[in-house]
A and B are shown apart, each in its own frame.
Chain A
Amino acid sequence: MSSSAQAAASADLEVEGLSKRFAAHLAVDDLSFSVARGSFFSILGPSGCGKTTLLRMIAGFVQPDRGAIRIGGEDMTRVAPNRRPVNMVFQHLALFPMMSVVQNVAFGLARRGVGRAERLRRAAAMLERVGLAGVGARRTDELSGGQRQRVAIARSMVLEPTLLLLDEPLGALDLKLREHMKIELKQLQSAFGTTFVYITHDQSEALVLSDQVAVMNHGRFEQLGAPQQLYYAPATAFVAGFVGASNRIPGKALTIERGVVELIGAGGWVLRARAAGALAAGAEVQTFIRPESMSLALAATELPAAHVAHGAEVISLLFDGANSTVLVRELQSGLELRVALPAGPDSAQLRPGTRVCIGFDPQLALCFGPGGAADV
């Protein structure tokens, strides 16, 4: 058995050369990828990037112009949605308001011709599995947002699909519940062992939940990898800007030496960063530095040894518990940058207007060439 055949055997979803055009707009542009069995796969992108079209093509609601979709090893490109081993959790859940909770869950079983007693038994068992034992007789509008979410998942999972598609199901929930449901979704997925394909524009959802994340922009994948890879080794400027918080510094490359670029930004500010990909001297570049990769102190001597000190002025403190940052203005360029709030006594003395020194390890600042513009 060749390695590609082996990969095919363990993949629940394979997409090959998939394209879809709506009038002048190319929604999905020649995409190919595969999703391993039992994994949690997220497609992350801004609205309008084509992720919803991609999901709807996998579900069967949209016909692709070109390409093939294989689910569980079988070609499904021309198969109707009601005949695919795929179920979908809709953005607003789409629970049937004219039916009770248990009727909602039993709907798909009834369509498959499962007998009444058997489908009620299986629906009740599934409700118990998602922690909703005893609510079967209720109307769907009597449930809380989290319970409705679980009914939507139970309604799909009772059919034992090869693939569960989730279309931003947490988008309509308030923040507190969203955090809670994130954890719950992850637990449900590992309990069921079903392959989940999840689309979202919320990078934190994608990072927390997924085994693999594809970052999508303009109908193409910018990068496909584990959450850690996307965060620490973004392949393009778009990914660096979209995944996690980052400071973006535009400039022009001066010299490139052993993978380190010296660039000049606004106001003649010269700084050094690691080159991501091939760069040429004189090219327009942009550098991304995460707030937590930057250090801040009152005196240059207190900065770590590898950090070059740059003068800055505090604009405001953005307190957010463990994610607290300081908004500073770099004095030479006038750029506003976010720096993680340092622990220790220094932070107590920070006020708007305080003169500070900021620095960063050039190895943790990524410099991208003019190829991909970070239009986020």
Chain B
Amino acid sequence: MSDGAAGAAGYRRLVLALLLAPALLWLLLLIILPHLDLALLSLRERAGPGRYVASLAQYRNFLREPLYWHVFARTAALSVLATALTLLVAFPVAWSIAKLARGRRRALLMLLCLIPFWVSETVRTLGWMILLRESGVLPALLVHLGLTAQPLELLYHDATILVGLVYTSLLFMIVPLVGSLESLDNSLIEAAYDLGGSGWSILRQIVIPHAAPGITAGCIVVFMLTLGNYLTPTLLGGKNSLWFTEQIYTQFITRFNWEQGAAFGFLLLALSTAMVWLGLKLSRQRFGEVMRRA
């Protein structure tokens, strides 16, 4: 009898293992193994043709070369800024979807947020370029309206990169925000209003504390996507973009210096981990809670 029970438990374990197998294999083969290989790559130095020795030279290079850590810090700062801007733009949209729209209109609004993602990111970004380049639609319009004498070059500015990043990230902020705002009981807002609260104090004391896990989840996702984005900064920022992923690409593809590229990859991973940790600390959230609520 106990044999039968043990057999049943063993069978359940086997089923569970089989169900989890694809995810675990994916994790092992596509994430853990390549990263282990990259870690080893980043910790060696070419001593001669086909000969490598263990060393920290790649990380030392990063610290010695001002361009590298300048781009690194700039990428981090612009990513934080893009995340904050995305939150500011997404919040009113999420509020409208979660609290003001009803039934079909809500579904339609969500669909509108999703529609841009039916087009590939490359095509979307090229669309921005068509709008913004010197001979593009927007500069021509400005000249036509008499606002500028010459067509302006609107590409290759930091602001242009930010616009592109916010546009790309918006959906990933809106979805967790809508989720957390939907679960906010309207009577809490009414009660706060009834007790003398103003719009601002209700937002600060009732809405934001309630939506905090959704806000944090959205910020983490958007920050990671932005930090690791390659296409948008490269296309919209051109040579001026100085985005860290571009440095990684250059090391791997142009310079064929895989050791340096691997070290940069790990630095970026460390940066995003540190920023997420810092964000959670500052907003007094726990990662598990945020992921569960989002």
A and B from one complex: yes
Residues of A at the B interface (CB closer than 8 Å) are: 59-61, 81-83, 86-88, 90-92, 94, 96-99, 107-108, 111-112, 155-156, 159
- Contact present for A111 and B197 (CB under 8 Å): yes
Kindly state whether residue B37 has any CB partner on chain A within 8 Å.
no
Interface positions, chain B 185-199, Cβ under 8 Å from A, are: 185, 187-188, 190-198
Instruction: Contacts A94-B187, A96-B188, A111-B201 given; indicate if A88 touches B206 (C-beta within 8 A).
Output: no
Closest 5 CB pairs of A and B: A111-B196, A108-B195, A94-B191, A98-B209, A94-B187
B: number of interface residues (CB 8 Å): 17
> For A90, what are the chain B residues with a Cβ–Cβ distance below 8 Å?
187, 190-191
A111 to B191, CA, bound (A): 13
> For A91, what are the chain B residues with a Cβ–Cβ distance below 8 Å?
187
- Contact present for A159 and B187 (CB under 8 Å): no
Chain B residue, CB-CB nearest to A84: B194
Chain B: minimal CB distance from A211 (Å) = 24
A135 to B196, CA, bound (A): 24
> For B194, what are the chain A residues with a Cβ–Cβ distance below 8 Å?
59-61, 81-82, 86-88
> For A86, what are the chain B residues with a Cβ–Cβ distance below 8 Å?
194
> For B193, what are the chain A residues with a Cβ–Cβ distance below 8 Å?
61, 81-82
Main secondary structure of the interface of A (DSSP, over half): mixed
> For B206, what are the chain A residues with a Cβ–Cβ distance below 8 Å?
96, 98
Kindly state whether residue B210 has any CB partner on chain A within 8 Å.
yes
- Contact present for A156 and B190 (CB under 8 Å): no
- Binary contact track B171-189/A, C-beta < 8 Å → 1, others 0: 0000000000000010110
Residue from B187, B188, B195, B210 within 8 A of A155 (CB atoms)? B195
Chain A: minimal CB distance from B284 (Å) = 12
Chain B residue, CB-CB nearest to A111: B196
A61 to B190, CA, bound (A): 8
A91 to B192, CA, bound (A): 14
> For A92, what are the chain B residues with a Cβ–Cβ distance below 8 Å?
185, 187
> For A61, what are the chain B residues with a Cβ–Cβ distance below 8 Å?
190, 193-194
Chain B: minimal CB distance from A41 (Å) = 19
A83 to B195, CA, bound (A): 9
A81 to B192, CA, bound (A): 10
A220 to B133, CA, bound (A): 67
Chain B residue, CB-CB nearest to A92: B187
Chain B residue, CB-CB nearest to A60: B194
Chain A: minimal CB distance from B48 (Å) = 63
Chain A: minimal CB distance from B268 (Å) = 35
> For A159, what are the chain B residues with a Cβ–Cβ distance below 8 Å?
195-196
Chain A residue, CB-CB nearest to B191: A94
- Contact present for B196 and A94 (CB under 8 Å): no
- Contact present for B188 and A108 (CB under 8 Å): no
Interface centre among A92, A98, A159 (most CB of B within 10 A): A98
> For A98, what are the chain B residues with a Cβ–Cβ distance below 8 Å?
205-206, 209-210
